[in-house]
Amino acid sequence: MKHILYFIVGVLSIFAFSCSKDEPQANLPAKAQATLSGIDHNALELVLENRSENPPAEVDYKWNWGDSEEFTSDNNINVSHTYETPGEYIVTLKMIDIAIDQEVSSVTYDVTIGEEVNENGIQIQFNQLEAGAWDYSLNWEYVQGSEPNHVKEMYVSLATDEAFTQLLNPLRGIEIGAIGEEVKVEPSQGFDVNNLASESTYYFKIRFVDIYDQPSEYTVELNTRKVEKPTIRLENTTNMVRVFVQSNNLVNKLNKDFNEIIVTPSIDLELFEKSEDGLSLTYYKNIQETIIFDVEEQAYNRATVEKATSSDGIPTGSKSLYFSQSENGPLTETSKVSSFVEGDKRFIYIGDEENNSATSAVGIYFELNESSIKKGEVIALNSSNTFVVTDETNGAQISLEANPDGIESFGLRIIEEEENTFDAAVESTSNENGKNHLLYFSQQDIAPNVEVMINQLIFQVNK
């Protein structure tokens, strides 16, 4: 049966009488007394202030701290003592009249030094052990009077055998060349073990040292799972496709030192955006094709590389124009994309006018240099080459606004090219919102501002 010794966190109890503020008289009795300046329960240090009254002309103060029978002289105003162990002690202060070598006053105080701790060291109970194929997550709670602030030091070990003779590095797992050893870590209530082999058994040890240097340790067996295919989720958004990958082999965050996700589309796509961990990717796509994505998850930096693969596909739409706009926008559900030449200028026109060949019809216009219309190019759009005509302008043009709401630049990205047919998307860039598909037209003396989002358009140019 465990015997647990509890120490009560306490303060020095002082019983003092009130005294007159008048100058002390010769006939007033001598009075030994002290007040508490502080207790450091971690260092087991007691600090007192000598507040004795009416001492004799020649005085010596003797202290007994309750951890031995000895009295020691200390005539300083502030006195301190450090104990070796926590506990309850009786402190005695004696006032000695040196002239007659006699005690003229004394006082005792009860003090409690040290935190409430378990005499058997830090006590924990595991409340969550979560196994992955390539990693493990451990969490615990402190029990039986132990608290996180009672932990002075914490060490972890990882081994392939229960006797801990075949040590691994708990921070690097089965990494080639990693030194197998016990590692000191910051005290916590959990630990993540990375870079393990699937369907394998390991042993993990936690060793604690409490604030009074009392040790305790715990060992747990870790059994990793078999490798499973990663999960793929695809979202089709007009001229883009988003790929979301979820690992079924890791319970912790993807660690680039040991793990990698590789996404490969079946056709050549331009990457638009990628999350830092590589688990979320967005591509520009040709909307007229179905795309298959192959996903390979790897565990490397080890003697034997492990892999898991999945594939999934997504069909695409067949529209030639995807857009949204403000209420006064010029486009309708029947709007189409066409190309025409006016003088020596090439225009891409988006609107409802059939066989349009002039820049006065209601719609949106891009003036483009034919040599720049090729796959991979981002054609800069600005107030000189991009404008809109609405029902309210009576044929007048409203130019693209150069910098509305933090947008730094506008462009038309050519995503795909095949036999003079081009798949494109508007691309605007801002500091706060990254990239989107906004066009913003403003010319207040002609008509209200116009906002149009063009996610995708397909047009033909006969060069």
What is the pLDDT, as a whole number, of residue 77? Answer: 96
For residues 247 and 254, what is the distance between their CA atoms, to the nearest angstrom?
8
pLDDT digits (tens, 9 = 90+) for 328-350: 899 988 888 988 888 888 899 99
Query: Which tens digit of pLDDT belongs to each residue from 150-189?
Result: 999 999 999 999 999 999 999 999 999 999 999 999 999 9
Mean pLDDT of 102-121: 87
Between CA 175 and CA 462 the distance in angstroms is: 58
User: 447 versus 60: which is more confidently predicted?
Assistant: 60
pLDDT(15) > 50: no
- Torsions phi, psi of 452, nearest 5? -135, 135
- 80 — pLDDT class (breaks 50, 70, 90): very high
User: What is the SS3 assignment for 31?
Assistant: strand
Distance CA 283, CA 317 (A): 15
Q: Is the distance from CB of 213 to CB of 86 less than 8 angstroms?
A: no
**Could you tell me where the beta strands, DSSP code E, fall in 256-374?**
259-265, 270-274, 280-284, 291-299, 306-314, 321-325, 336-342, 345-351, 363-368
The residue-averaged pLDDT of 3-11 equals 35
Collapsed DSSP state (helix, strand, coil) of residue 405: helix
Phi, psi of 404 (to 5 degrees): -85, 135
User: How many CA atoms are closer than 13 Å to the CA of 218, on its beta-carbon side?
Assistant: 18
Give residue 333's pLDDT.
82
Whether pLDDT at 220 is above 60:
yes
More confident residue, 83 or 395: 83
Q: What is the pLDDT of residue 382?
A: 92
283 against 301, higher pLDDT: 301
Segment 342-361 shows an average pLDDT of 89
Beta bridge partners of 36: 48
- The pLDDT, as a whole number, for residue 319 is 66
Cβ-contact 398, 447 below 8 angstroms: yes
Mean pLDDT over 200-224 rounds to: 95
CB 230 within 8 A of CB 248: yes
User: Average pLDDT, stretch 59-81?
Assistant: 96
Residue 402 pLDDT class (50, 70, 90 cuts): low
Place of tokens 């009254």: 53
pLDDT recorded at residue 79: 97
Note the pLDDT of residue 463. 58
Mean pLDDT of 210-237: 92
**Residues above pLDDT 90, as percent of the chain:** 55
In this structure, the chain runs to a length of 463
Residue 14 pLDDT > 60? no
Q: What are the tens digits of pLDDT across the range 85-107? A: 888 899 999 999 999 999 999 99
- Angle at the Cα of 165 from the Cα atoms of 162 and 171, rounded to 5 degrees: 85
Three-state DSSP state, 166: coil
Q: Which distant-in-sequence residues (6+ apart) come within 8 Å of 419 by Cβ?
A: none
Q: What is the structure's pLDDT at 1? A: 29
Question: How far is 329 from 325, CA to CA, in rounded Å?
Answer: 5
pLDDT at position 201: 98
- In sequence order, what are the residues at sequence separation of 6 or more whose Cβ sits closer than 8 angstroms to the Cβ of residue 21? none
Q: Report the pLDDT value the prediction gives residue 3, as an integer from 0 to 100.
A: 33
Q: Which residues pair with 105 in a beta bridge?
A: 95
Q: Which two tokens stand for residue 366?
A: 């891009």
Going by C-alpha positions, the residue among 39, 42, 66, 61 that lies closest to residue 50 is 61
- Cα–Cα distances (Å) from 79 to 13, 46, 48, 82, in that order, read 17, 8, 5, 11
So what's the pLDDT on residue 238?
60
Is 10 a residue whose pLDDT tops 50?
no
* Average pLDDT along the chain: 87
What's the rounded Cα separation, in Å, for the pair 367 and 381?
A: 9
Q: Render 84-100 in DSSP notation, one character per residue.
A: SS-EEEEEEEEEEETTT
List C-alpha distances in Å: 157 to 137, 184, 186, 270, 427: 14, 9, 14, 45, 52
Sorted by where each starts, the structural domains of the chain and their CATH numbers stand as: 1-116 (2.60.40.10), 124-223 (2.60.40.10), 231-314 (2.60.40), 321-460 (no CATH)
Token reading at 127: 């409340």
User: pLDDT grade, residue 289 (50/70/90)?
Assistant: low
Does residue 9 register a pLDDT over 50?
A: no
Quick one: which of 46, 234, 228 has its CA closest to 131? 228
Residue 144 has pLDDT above 80, yes or no: yes
In contact, 314 and 290? CB cutoff 8 Å: yes
In terms of Cα–Cα distance, which of 401, 380, 398 is closest to 389? 398
pLDDT digits (tens, 9 = 90+) for 296-312: 999 999 999 999 999 98
Q: State the pLDDT at residue 239.
A: 66
d(CA 225, CA 308): 13
pTM, to two decimals: 0.55
